Structure 1
């Protein structure tokens, strides 16, 4: 179970997440034990209003008694403003939550969830049910340690992942993305959770993409992508040809089959994580026929420059085509 100093570290960060010192202390604490990350994520959910997961076999009353005893030893705080008093109350509410979480995690093992996060690298993960997940850079997913036994539920908190799902009609495979739920039996599909919204692209099989808490959903078949924008209600779909670059991050290959320059710019922007502008509108309809297999951006731009006889500049994260 976490000690009070650990509670202090988590609370201070949640109260002021932009504080550099608080971030460092939290990061050091998470590095001490892999289970600490799961504890922190659960506490963060409750801090923002998510309910505490039920744990019928957990001695809740005993933990509250333990908390009361700890609070009795805390010296009285000096008079404070109304705002500070509210923060203190929230502080001890969160401290109680951490004790409950820690007890629950002890009961279920070293964390109820497994969390996988990538930095600037790609990664792949074989799940207990035989399915495989391929993770793009800067992606974070979570799944229960009981995955494959009584559930096949994965939460993608940010980033992009490709799922190759083993078919199991008795246990549907679901992906929880921000505001969106994806449900399948056995298929392969891509989910991208970005700031603007969630995109779901199907490579094989059928996938249901739905707004959480509503009846609004769409059934996707191979080659179809659904776009669900945050704070929206519509589900827009688009059919792609076989040669598209939605999965280029996974294959490390960009294919342009007489693709207009606007489409090329969008693909380059997504693949290389840069901003690509077409300053000269007359170039938008130029077509590119080329294949780039895991090539550096500057080499790609040089080939485009010579092939299309256009001007291209690249500085920092900005590419200008003119």
Structure 2
């Protein structure tokens, strides 16, 4: 939902159809309600810098036309334009003062004209942006985002780590993610970006994204995975083997005929563990199940019971055979 329409709704300048549309949109999702409340909060914070009398330029113009049409033909009247300069000056002062209020007095996560910074350490972090988009950071990740509603583009920078983006669609304001020298441009979609050193991985879950690196460009469709090696300048396209990459978003692991080696790989990443498959024949055992991202011990028990495995715990490593 466009911010200008929400402000129009707050000012009670929407018609009945628009009112119904906005009410349904707010009720449809908690993130929509949060976005509306943020717009309302910002607007209310700016009230004290408003002119005591709000002058409608449209109404002023109509009044001028009426006066012109009904004036006496024998009398020549000189209409001063000074009030119009007052209106313009008041508007400029209002905009500047409002911008100052936004930057100076709002909390960082509500600020519209400044960058927000997200950082995670030992647990994932999720935040809803002003536009309704949701960003989830995996552990040990950092991201910066420009929330200004006055910019043509919405821009995020993944400094390091991994993030999952659920972007609110806005064709007039594309959403861009920068990871190193890799730029990802979207309108409305869900995708995952992982930056590890000089390698960037992009996996598209839904919608469409365009990835640019140097003079190279790729357009991804759902299920596509793109690896960008910024040292060698190589772009490698493939299909995402599974959706385990998003385990930190929904807080569960979903395996669908997934080979055991891949499940172990993700568990090692998620828990910072060092699980080793001792027998080569175990690598491709298929697993179809969903288990919570709670404790490593519980999930090892699931694997143990499913395949009849033996789990041996050693200092700094776990051996499965």
TM-score between both structures, scaled by the size of structure 2: 0.60
Which of the numbers 189, 198, 216 marks the counterpart of 2:191?
Answer: 189
* Equivalent residues of 2:192, 2:202 under 8 A apart: yes
Superposition CA RMSD, Å: 2.5
1:1-322 correspondence runs (5 A): 113-144=115-146, 146=148, 149-195=151-197, 197-211=199-213, 214-240=214-240, 244-315=243-314, 317-322=316-321
* Partners of 1:135 and 1:316 in 2: CA distance: 30
- CA 1:164 to 1:317, structure 2 compared with 1: closer, same or farther past 3 Å? farther
Matches of 1:280 and 1:148 in 2, distance apart? 58
Task: Evaluate the alpha carbon distance shift between residue 264 and residue 222 of structure 1 in structure 2; reply closer, same or farther with a 3 A threshold.
Answer: same
Structure 2: unaligned runs, 5 residues or longer:
1-99, 105-112
Identify the residue that residue 83 of structure 2 maps to in structure 1.
Answer: none
> Runs of 4 or more off by more than 6 Å in structure 1?
none
Contact 2:114 2:146 in 1 (8 A): yes
Using the alignment, how far apart are the partners of 2:153 and 2:315 within structure 1?
45
**Alpha-carbon spacing, 1:127–1:239, altered in 2? closer, same or farther (3 Å):** same
1:170 match: secondary structure: coil
TM-score scaled by length of structure 1: 0.60
Deviation at 1:250, TM superposition (A): 0.8
Contact 1:256 1:289 in 2 (8 A): yes
The CA distance in 2 between the partners of 1:177 and 1:247, in whole Å, is: 18
Structure 1: runs of 5+ lacking an equivalent: 1-105
